[in-house]
């Protein structure tokens, strides 16, 4: 499992996890598309925004390996802002390639692309 050095471990001041420390010996948790309903709590929406901003700051528009990125957090973006980066795609592989759909991500999370977001 590739560890993304320099990637934030969690949303500051919360328990919202962005990366996992070690690989699951039974295999990676499969990525699935989770529906984001309009009535989600504000902290959940903020975690999605920060995670998207971290993905963009770390990877940009280049394909990236799933590695130690948290499957639960990725699943909130998967199928919309984060897409499979290879065909065939294995949702249960730590080595699976992903990519950011910049157009969809900018529509959903415009603040994540501001230059001063991390300031």
CB atoms within 10 A of CB 47: 21
pLDDT band at 119 (very low <50, low <70, confident <90, very high): low
**What's the average model confidence in pLDDT over 88-106?**
94
pLDDT tens digits along 6-29: 999 988 888 899 999 888 888 889
pLDDT tens digits along 23-65: 888 888 999 999 999 899 999 999 999 999 999 999 999 999 9
Q: Do the Cβ atoms of 48 and 57 come closer than 8 Å?
A: no
pTM of the model: 0.91
């Amino acid at each position: 499992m590739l560890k993304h050095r320099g990637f934030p471990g969690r949303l500051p001041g919360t328990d919202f996890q962005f990366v996992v420390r070690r690989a699951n010996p039974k295999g990676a948790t499969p990525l699935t598309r989770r529906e984001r309903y309009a009535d989600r709590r504000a902290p959940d929406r903020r975690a999605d925004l920060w995670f998207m901003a971290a993905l963009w700051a770390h990877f940009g528009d280049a394909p990236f390996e799933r590695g130690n990125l948290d499957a639960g957090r990725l699943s909130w973006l998967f199928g919309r802002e984060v897409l499979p980066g290879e065909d065939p795609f294995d949702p249960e592989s730590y080595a699976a390639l992903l990519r950011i759909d910049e157009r969809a991500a900018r529509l959903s999370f415009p603040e994540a692309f501001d230059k001063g977001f991390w300031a």
